């Protein structure tokens, strides 16, 4: 009997399975207690810097209120997370290449997870499970603030980076975020990154204060990840819609972000707790039903 070629849809499924083989990715959530602290800029440039270091990186924009990672990257996605949740696009086809990384773009105004139906929640879980095998590192840009969605998404990650500035209101909100993460049995380490610092001394003073207060009043260890100096190059990069690491690679802020990315990559990934990212994600989505 002459063998027949498999149908094209089977070939496509096989290609997808082969592309998704490999060890599970390290999942890092980048979050903040309030908007306007540069969270998305940090997430985007951290992802690009990690890719420049040879990692396969996927950036997932899970800011359900104001998704704009695509703007910082200067790309126009043809598909977003909303297309995946509605079943109109496969997650692999919804990824947008940008400056060495893959972006799963968000959609501004997307419904809260609690308001999604069972089918959409199932698609979200399946999408993130598949991305988990396609990369070495997944950077999740959460929304800003302390809403349930933001905190739960951050808590499902293997590691969480809380971005703050030296401004008093930002520090208060960063502490509130850390407090809520502690109450949600956050899956992995919580690290604080001081953005827009005038100098290293200010950044060290701010991060040391957060670490001390979290340990004293929450009994929660918070690590100091580093800092990004205040730099006009950041604004220039945003205005021309090119990531800082690409458009202004020699700037002070880019050097800081490169140091932070190197530190993240050098820190050994911890053994996942409570079944790891996928188990925590499944638990969160089931509680949201």
| Digit-coded pLDDT (tens) for 10-69 | 445 544 544 444 567 899 999 999 999 999 999 999 999 999 999 999 999 988 778 899
Interval 203-245: pLDDT, tens: 999 999 999 999 999 999 999 999 999 999 999 999 999 999 9
Nearest to 92 by CA among 37, 17, 168: 17
**CATH dotted code for 23-288:** 3.40.50.300
Confidence (pLDDT) at 286: 72
Say if residues 69 and 141 touch (Cβ distance below 8 Å).
yes
Q: Is the pTM value of this prediction over 0.75?
A: yes
Does position 130 have pLDDT exceeding 50, yes or no?
A: yes
CA gap 36, 175 in Å, rounded: 16
Q: Which backbone phi and psi does 37 adopt, to 5 degrees?
A: -105, 0
Give the CA distances from residue 249 to residues 43, 239, 241, 258, in Å, rounded to whole numbers and listed in that order: 16, 16, 14, 9
């Amino acid at each position: 009997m002459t063998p027949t070629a498999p149908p094209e849809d089977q070939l496509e499924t096989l290609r997808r399975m082969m592309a998704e083989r490999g060890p599970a990715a390290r999942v890092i959530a980048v979050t903040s207690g309030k908007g306007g602290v540069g969270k998305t800029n940090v997430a985007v440039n951290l992802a690009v810097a990690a890719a420049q270091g040879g990692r396969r990186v996927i950036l997932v924009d899970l800011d359900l209120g104001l998704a704009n990672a695509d703007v910082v990257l200067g790309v126009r996605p043809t598909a977003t997370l909303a297309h995946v949740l509605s079943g109109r696009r496969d997650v692999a086809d919804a990824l947008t290449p940008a400056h060495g990384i893959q972006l799963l773009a968000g959609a501004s105004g997307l419904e809260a997870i609690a308001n999604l139906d069972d089918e959409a929640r199932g698609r979200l879980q399946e999408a993130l499970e598949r991305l988990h095998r396609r990369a070495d590192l997944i950077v999740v840009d959460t929304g800003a603030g302390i809403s349930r969605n933001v905190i739960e998404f951050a808590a499902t990650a293997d590691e969480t980076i809380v971005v703050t500035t030296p401004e008093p209101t930002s520090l208060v909100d960063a502490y509130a975020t850390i407090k809520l993460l502690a109450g949600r049995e956050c899956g992995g380490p919580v690290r604080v990154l001081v953005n827009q610092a005038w100098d290293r001394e200010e950044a060290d003073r701010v991060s040391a204060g957060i670490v001390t207060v979290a340990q004293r009043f929450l009994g929660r260890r918070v690590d100091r990840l580093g800092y990004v100096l205040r730099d006009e190059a950041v604004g220039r990069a945003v205005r021309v819609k090119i990531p800082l690491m690409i458009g202004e690679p020699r700037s002070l802020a880019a050097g800081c972000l490169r140091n932070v990315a190197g530190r993240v990559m050098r820190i050994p990934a911890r053994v996942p707790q409570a079944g790891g990212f996928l188990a925590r994600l499944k638990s969160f989505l089931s509680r949201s039903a």
